Chains A and B, each alone.
Chain A
Amino acid sequence: MPDFDTVTPLPPAAKGDFSAMFRALLLPHRIVMLAIALAGLSAMVLMMNWSWLPAYLPKLGEGLLMTLYMLVGSVVMGFLLALPLALAQVSGPAPLRWLALSFCTVIRGTPLLLQLWLFYFGLGSLFAQFPEIRGTWLWPYLRQPWPYGLIALTVSFAAYQGEVMRGAFAGVPNGELEAARAFGMSRFKVFHRVWFPRAVHRALPTLAGEIILQLKSTPLVATITVTDLYAVITRVRQATLLTYEPLLFLVAVYICLSAVLILALRWLENRVPTGH
């Protein structure tokens, strides 16, 4: 065996090293910022009126569940829908490509609020006119508002994510796909083993941002009478005549959700260090 002079690569940077993260928090300017945040928080807790909170906790929990349900449902289904939308644009025949492109452009070019209302008032009242639909097992669901919220959010996420995935698919270096083909992989295998995982990994950094945008869109479903967290808070405000406390509570919950999402996706991203 020839004696190679091996180049020792740098070890991958220790990611998710918590003691390092903790030490980074102890820099002087960060200590000052932490102190200010703590002071603000204790002022809020001590000086504001939170007596309503215990009584409304169950309702708030239900609202949070509905928000999460809207978010997770629309992200998962929207992502699944985004794949064919992206693939049609990258490698589909001309009519399909055109169709997918128009769909993404129209959805991304119109307000989500409008789509929500069109689905709810348009589709909803359309369905109600057909006895065939009213007779099926679906009707108990379709007469509630949340399916329309979920559909609108899903369609919107699919259109945005379809655009992201289109770029991600197109950006996978051709040589990697060619290598897969050269070794006898079928078209499906090339997709399943190389093209798709590579594209998802490339799209992950933007996915976190897209999901957070989606989280911030969910309160719109309150306009079609879905009782998400925002709708519950609105009711609290009407019932207690408090202005700031319920809103601050809402802010805190959304910030926590965003933070969890960011950390989870960063963890996912770091599991495969491709280095570029």
Chain B
Amino acid sequence: MDQPAIEIRDLHKSFGDLEVLKGVSLTAHPGDVVAVIGGSGSGKSTMLRCINMLELPSSGEIAIQGEAYGLHPARGGGLEPIDPKQVQRIRAQLGMVFQNFNLWPHRTVLGNVIEVPIQVLGVPRDKAIARARQVLARVGLAEKEDVYPSFMSGGQQQRCAIARVLAVDPLAMLFDEPTSALDPELVGEVLSVIRDLAQEKRTMILVTHEMAFARDVASHVIYLRDGLIEEQGPPEQIFGAPQSAHLRQFISSVV
């Protein structure tokens, strides 16, 4: 049996009285590229952030490579991890790319990329550096390893953030609108790196507003609206023959 890389079952999440996710289920098998689309405020980021417990679910279950997060009811309501160590261990196998890059500005490009392998995974320094140089070459930043992030363009910073994820060779990669903070002329360089990774059959969940790109690289598309999956399927179906009126309207409004 093919173990799902990521499995979400009936995920609910509220912030106070605001119910943001109202029962989302999703399965991503190894090699799947799941694109998540939907209007702003529909809960896309929240869903993604629940996958690595940056947000704690209110209820529901999430399993990474068959291992479910151990959660128990928290005092203030909702759930919390039984064992923070387990959460840390699972997180180290997931790589997240943020909208605002979130590089560590006090470390060089190389310093950012070797940080997690050395500090979290315990990789020896020389091995980590060799691996970092490989992934930096992949994202086109081989020349930049001694540069501090704030001296690079947004596109270069985001490619560095992707290299930082590749360096841990994650089970799955989580992208939260990786090109939304970029100037239009820099979007292409980041998308082409992500496209490479998708073609390499890396498991990823990709929240994006780039519809043409989603259609191109996704194996499966999810349309989130108001905290629920309103429609999902292969990209040809979602973009070619959308069923729901909301989805049709959303697609025409974005394109």
Contacts and interface: CB of A to CB of B under 8 A. Distances in A.
A108 interface: no
Interface residues of B, number: 42
B17 to A, nearest CB: 23
Contacts of A274: 105-106, 148, 150
A186 interface: yes
Contact of B88 (A1, A179, A185, A201): A185
Contact of B147 (A9, A183, A185): A9
A198 B151 contact: no
Contact of B151 (A9, A176, A186, A187): A9
Given A2-B140, A2-B192, A274-B148, A179 B104 contact: yes
Contacts of A4: 140, 155, 159, 189
B9 to A, nearest CB: 22
A189 B122 CA distance: 13
Interface in B187-243: 189, 192-193, 196
B54 A197 contact: no
B98 interface: yes
A175 B100 contact: yes
Contacts of B138: 1
A272 B146 CA distance: 12
Contacts of B151: 9-10, 12, 273, 275
A187 B81 CA distance: 14
B102 A6 contact: no
Contacts of A198: 104-106
A276 interface: yes
A178 B104 contact: no
Determine chain A's interface SS by DSSP, over half rule: loop
A182 interface: yes
Contact of A186 (B88, B98, B196): B88
A275 B151 CA distance: 7
Going nearest first, the 10 A-B pairs with the smallest beta carbon separation are A184-B92, A275-B150, A184-B91, A179-B102, A175-B102, A7-B153, A274-B105, A2-B192, A182-B96, A9-B151
Interface string A146-175: 000000000000000000000000000101
Given A9-B151, A274-B105, A275-B148, A183 B116 contact: yes
Contacts of A176: 102-105
26 contacts: A4-B140, A4-B159, A6-B140, A6-B153, A7-B156, A9-B147, A9-B153, A10-B151, A173-B102, A175-B102, A179-B96, A179-B98, A179-B103, A181-B91, A182-B54, A182-B96, A183-B115, A184-B88, A184-B90, A184-B91, A187-B84, A193-B104, A194-B104, A272-B106, A272-B148, A273-B148
B58 interface: no
A5 interface: yes
Interface in A1-56: 1-2, 4-7, 9-10, 12
A183 B84 CA distance: 13
B70 to A, nearest CB: 16
B59 interface: no
B52 interface: yes
Interface string A50-83: 0000000000000000000000000000000000
B140 A193 contact: no
B190 to A, nearest CB: 9
